[in-house]
C-alpha cells in the first residue's frame, strides 16, 4: 500500500505519505448452522513500512514493523444457500443469496501509546453487515451494508489519552464474471463515512467521507489451488488514508471426501 494520508486539521502534522508492506496468513472453515451454510475465517497480518511528513513544519520519517491486528469473521447465509453435500452443491439451482456477518478486529498488533504511528490499534472493532448477491448467467452482482463500532483506546498518543471513535457506516457493491471454474474477474467499489474521533471527550475530529474502487482476478494454478491478484485505489478521500493497494494471494481449498 502506498499513498497519502489526509489528517485532522487540528493536528500539527501535514503532507503525510506512507508505504506499507504486509503478509497475512488466513484460515477459513465452512459448517452448517441450523441447516444454513456458515463460514468462519481468521487472519493474522504482519506489516512493515515507512511514514513521512511534516511535524511542526519539520520533515520527519519513521519506520515501523510488527504484528498488526488479527481479524475474525463469521458469516451465515440466511436465504438461498443451505448447507449441502458436494453432490448437492454441484447440482444446485443458483438463486439470490442473503447473508449476514460479524467481523471482529482484535488488538493483537504492536502498539505504544507513546508513539503517534503504530502498526496495531489499541482497541477492539466490530462490524455488523448484511448483504445480497444475485447470479445472472455467468455474472454475479452484490451489495453489502454494514457499520463499524469501536471500543475505547485508553492509551492514545502521547500516552494516557482516552480516544473514542464514532461508528462508521459502510456500503459496497461488486460485479463479477466467471469465465470457468475458479477463473473469475470482479470489480468492486465502496463508501464509508462518519467515524469522528474524540480525545478525552473533547470536540470531534473530522469525519470520514471516502470511497474506493478496485478489481480482483482469480486464476486457478492447480487442483484446489488458485492465485488472486487485487488492485484498489481511492476515488475520494476527504479524511484518512488514500492508498493505492496491490495484493497477491494464494488460496488452497480442501474439500471433504
> Residue 205, Cβ neighbours under 10 Å: how many?
20
d(CA 103, CA 150): 12
Identify the CATH class of 27-44+66-252: mainly beta
The bridge status of strand 225-236 relative to strand 240-252 is: antiparallel
Digit-coded pLDDT (tens) for 126-149? 999 999 999 999 999 999 999 999
Q: Which of the listed ranges 8-22, 90-104, 134-148, 239-253 does the model predict with the highest average pLDDT?
A: 134-148
- pTM attached to this predicted model: 0.90
Residue-level pLDDT at 167: 95
Cα separation values, 249 from 21, 223, 246, Å: 13, 16, 10
Closest CA to 228 of 24, 77, 90: 24
> Residue 184, Cβ neighbours under 10 Å: how many?
19
The residue to which cell 494520508 is assigned? 5
Residue with the bigger pLDDT between 82 and 57: it is 82
Residue ranges of domains in the chain: 27-44+66-252
Residue-level pLDDT at 238: 55
187: which strand partners?
Answer: 175, 215
Closest CA to 167 of 141, 145, 139: 145
pLDDT(73) > 90: yes
CB 194 within 8 A of CB 169: yes
Residue-level pLDDT at 203: 85
Q: In what order do the strands lie in the sheet with 153-156?
A: 153-156, 161-165, 197-199
Instruction: Give the cell for residue 192.
Output: 464509508
CB 79 within 8 A of CB 98: yes
Amino acid at each position: 500500500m502506498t499513498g497519502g494520508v489526509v489528517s485532522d486539521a487540528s493536528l500539527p502534522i501535514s503532507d503525510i505519505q506512507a508505504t506499507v508492506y504486509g503478509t497475512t496468513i488466513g484460515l477459513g472453515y465452512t459448517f452448517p448452522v441450523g441447516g444454513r451454510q456458515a463460514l468462519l475465517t481468521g487472519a493474522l497480518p504482519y506489516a512493515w513500512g515507512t511514514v513521512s511528513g511534516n511535524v511542526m513544519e519539520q520533515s520527519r520519517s519513521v519506520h515501523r514493523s510488527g504484528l498488526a491486528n488479527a481479524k475474525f469473521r463469521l458469516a451465515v447465509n440466511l436465504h438461498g444457500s443451505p448447507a449441502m453435500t458436494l453432490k448437492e452443491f454441484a447440482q444446485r439451482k443458483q438463486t439470490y443469496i442473503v447473508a449476514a456477518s460479524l467481523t471482529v478486529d482484535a488488538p493483537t498488533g504492536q502498539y505504544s501509546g507513546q508513539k503517534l504511528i503504530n502498526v496495531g490499534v489499541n482497541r477492539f472493532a466490530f462490524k455488523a453487515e448484511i448483504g445480497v448477491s444475485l447470479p445472472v448467467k455467468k455474472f454475479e452482482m452484490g451489495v453489502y451494508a454494514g457499520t463499524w463500532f469501536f471500543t475505547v483506546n485508553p492509551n492514545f498518543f502521547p500516552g494516557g489519552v482516552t480516544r473514542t471513535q464514532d461508528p462508521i457506516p459502510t456500503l459496497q457493491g461488486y460485479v463479477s464474471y466467471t469465465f470457468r471454474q475458479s477463473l473469475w474477474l470482479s470489480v468492486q467499489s465502496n463508501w464509508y463515512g462518519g467515524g469522528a474521533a474524540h480525545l478525552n471527550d473533547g470536540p470531534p475530529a473530522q469525519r470520514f467521507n471516502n470511497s474506493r474502487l478496485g478489481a480482483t482476478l482469480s486464476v486457478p494454478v492447480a487442483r484446489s489451488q488458485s492465485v488472486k491478484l487485487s488492485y484498489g485505489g481511492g476515488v475520494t478521500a476527504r479524511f484518512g488514508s488514500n492508498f493505492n493497494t496491490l495484493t497477491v494471494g494464494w488460496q488452497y481449498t480442501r474439500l471433504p471426501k
